[in-house]
Amino acid sequence: MKKLYIETLGCAMNERDSEHIIAELTQKEDFRLTSTMEDADLILINTCSVREKPVQKLFSEIGVFAKKRKEGAKIGVCGCTASHLGEEIIKRAPVVDFVLGARNVSKIRDVLDKKGAVEVDINYDESSFTFGDFRNSLYKAMINISIGCDKQCSFCIVPHTRGKEVAIPADLIIQEARKAAQSGAKEIMLLGQNVNNYNDNGRDFSDLLEMVSEIEEVERIRFTSPHPLHMDDKFLELFANNPKVCKNMHMPLQSGSTKILKEMKRGYTKGWFLDRAFKLREMVPDVRISTDIIVAFPGESEEDFLETMDVIEQVRFEQIFSFKYSPRPLTKAAEFENQIPKEIADRRLSTLQRRHNEILDEITDATKGRVFEVYFEELKSGGRVAGRSDNGFMVMVEGSEELLGKTKEVLIEYPRRTALHGKVID
Ligand code: SF4
């Protein structure tokens, strides 16, 4: 048997794409997975190009892999950077055997033995393609509900790497969820670039959540990423009232300034975002809200930045993924003239992160002595087991694999920013 080593960068969509690639190669070809790159006959790098750094990292990584690989081992580059750089990758790094775009995962077996193959067509529609069912976790299952994105946010490269938005038929999704849940994955994570824009012949995302929740073996449903623009009342009510839908909402704000949101082409205002966040907090008092924020978008004034800080004060997000704006090729914003100097961007990012850490400390400290229902899914070093509360806190307890796949009540004793530590009481 040949050995496959795969490195996955970026988001949950990429993780799921890697699972699909592994399924194709281990179930339809003669491969098995290895975690040692030096032993592999095929080395795959599943790349991300949402920010600049992972792209730079790709070429240094190819160099390292080329030096350390065993003789004759092939190197393939997949994912979003593969889509946007295409054959440029092989020109810059001729050791690469093939390039496979994020929308072309189902072609992995076609390119395997074709030195120099480049498959990066973003119009290729593989939405009806049924993959094998390899999963990295026995306890939770990621399921794609759509591929691509039609939004064209001015900073984002994804529409150029994953192509037009296509909804995967609801019946296929339900079949996949049922199969995963019956084999032990009680938690289902629905994936898409704009999950709550889902529409399969009139069945919207709320309908889909309802359908998944009707599968008896499914205990928890999560999803990523929803778009604030599509957070209508029907969606928020379903989120609040369906007990299987976990009370952890990702609301990517990006900026708190309506002027900048317009430049970003996000389609909502600061007022709309706050209205949705307040409604959510009112309907689900224990909800955890996470967000993404970009500081120093071109043209962002100090006042615009303060608008973002104001949203942080008002919403008190439980988690923020914050970044300095970085121009991405093929995007509109990369051509904007009023780019923000690095020192200002650095200062804004550290101001935001410092304030958020203060808020986070207050939120974290308030969990001491509370009891959460935790679904355990991963063994950690030092005899600990990790899981998540319904509302998304990472929780750690002492224990063994007996806890995996089970939901237990945990009393929080030592809350930390990165994880809440406690003990199982039931
Ligand atoms: S919604 Fe905007 S940020 Fe999200 S993937 Fe689509 S274009 Fe990118």
| Structural domain contains residue 178 | yes
Tell me, in angstroms, the distance from the centre of ligand 1 to residue 81's CA: 16
Asked if residue 185 lies in contact with residue 134, where contact means CB atoms within 8 angstroms, the answer is no
In the chain, how long is the greatest CA-to-CA distance? 61
The sign of the torsion formed by the CA atoms of 206, 390, 252, 84 equals negative
Q: Rounded to whole angstroms, how far apart are CA atoms 167 and 147? A: 7
| Structural domain contains residue 126 | no
Closest C-alpha residue for ligand 1 atom 2: 153
Q: Which residues of the chain have pLDDT under 70?
A: 125-129
Tell me, in angstroms, the distance from the centre of ligand 1 to residue 411's CA: 38
**89 in the same domain as 175:** no
Q: Which of 188, 219, 246 is the last residue of a domain?
A: 246
- Phi first, then psi, for residue 126 (nearest 5°) are -115, 25
Sequence-ordered alpha helix ranges (H) in 36-184 = 52-68, 80-85, 88-92, 108-111, 158-162, 170-182
**232 in the same domain as 264:** no
User: Which amino acid is located at 185 in the chain?
Assistant: A
Sheet holding 42-47: strands in order across? 31-33, 2-8, 42-47, 74-79, 98-101, 117-119
Asked if residue 41 lies in contact with residue 73, where contact means CB atoms within 8 angstroms, the answer is yes
Residue to mutate, 153, 155, 223, 262, ligand 1, most ligand atoms under 8 Å from C-beta: 153
Closest C-alpha residue for ligand 1 atom 1: 151
**142 in the same domain as 114:** no
Tell me, in angstroms, the distance from the centre of ligand 1 to residue 153's CA: 6
Tell me, in angstroms, the distance from the centre of ligand 1 to residue 58's CA: 22
**pLDDT tens digits along 226-268:** 999 999 999 999 999 999 999 999 999 999 999 999 999 999 9
**109 in the same domain as 12:** yes
With a 6 Å cutoff on the Cβ, whether 247 touches ligand 1 is no
| Structural domain contains residue 270 | yes
With a 6 Å cutoff on the Cβ, whether 347 touches ligand 1 is no
With a 6 Å cutoff on the Cβ, whether 331 touches ligand 1 is no
Write the burial class of residue 46 (CB in 10 Å: 0-12 exposed, 13-18 middle, 19+ buried): buried
When computed from its CA atoms, the radius of gyration of the chain, rounded to whole angstroms, is 22
With a 6 Å cutoff on the Cβ, whether 227 touches ligand 1 is yes
With a 6 Å cutoff on the Cβ, whether 156 touches ligand 1 is yes
Structure tokens at 246: 């976990």
- CATH number where 144 lies: 3.30.750.210
- Print the domain residue range for 10: 2-119
**11 in the same domain as 89:** yes
**385 in the same domain as 284:** no
Closest CA to 29 of 138, 98, 108: 108
The CB density around residue 184, as the number of other CB atoms within 10 Å, is: 15
Q: Would you state the pLDDT for residue 118?
A: 96
Q: Would you state the pLDDT for residue 73?
A: 97
Closest C-alpha residue for ligand 1 atom 4: 193
| Structural domain contains residue 124 | no
CA trace torsion 397, 399, 400, 406 (10° rounding): -60
Q: How far is CA 149 from CA 160, 329, 337, 395, 410, in A?
A: 9, 17, 26, 33, 39
Tell me, in angstroms, the distance from the centre of ligand 1 to residue 135's CA: 26
Tell me, in angstroms, the distance from the centre of ligand 1 to residue 232's CA: 18
| Structural domain contains residue 132 | no
Axis crossing angle, helix 270-283 with helix 302-315, rounded to the nearest 10: 10
Q: Would you state the pLDDT for residue 119?
A: 94
With a 6 Å cutoff on the Cβ, whether 158 touches ligand 1 is yes
Q: Are strands 74-79 and 42-47 parallel, antiparallel or unpaired?
A: parallel
Phi-psi bin for 254: left (phi > 0), alpha (psi -120 to 50), beta?
left
With a 6 Å cutoff on the Cβ, whether 149 touches ligand 1 is yes
**256 in the same domain as 207:** no
With a 6 Å cutoff on the Cβ, whether 193 touches ligand 1 is yes
**351 in the same domain as 376:** no
With a 6 Å cutoff on the Cβ, whether 195 touches ligand 1 is no
**pLDDT tens digits along 123-144:** 876 655 677 779 999 999 999 9
Q: Rounded to whole angstroms, how far apart are CA atoms 216 and 113? A: 43
The total of structural domains in the chain comes to: 4
With a 6 Å cutoff on the Cβ, whether 385 touches ligand 1 is no
Structure tokens at 96: 């690469």
Q: Would you state the pLDDT for residue 57?
A: 85
Q: Which of 229, 246, 263 is the last residue of a domain?
A: 246
- Please tell me the chain's helix, strand, coil percentages from 3-state DSSP, rounded to the nearest 5: 40, 25, 35
Q: How far is CA 340 from CA 71, 116, 279, in A?
A: 47, 39, 34
Residue to mutate, 84, 152, 156, 164, ligand 1, most ligand atoms under 8 Å from C-beta: 156
Q: How far is CA 72 from CA 32, 67, 96, in A?
A: 17, 12, 12
Structure tokens at 228: 């604030």
Which residue in this structure is represented by tokens 């995967």?
A: 168
- CATH number where 395 lies: 2.40.50.140
Write the burial class of residue 12 (CB in 10 Å: 0-12 exposed, 13-18 middle, 19+ buried): middle
Angle at 223 between CA 222 and CA 226, to 5 degrees: 140
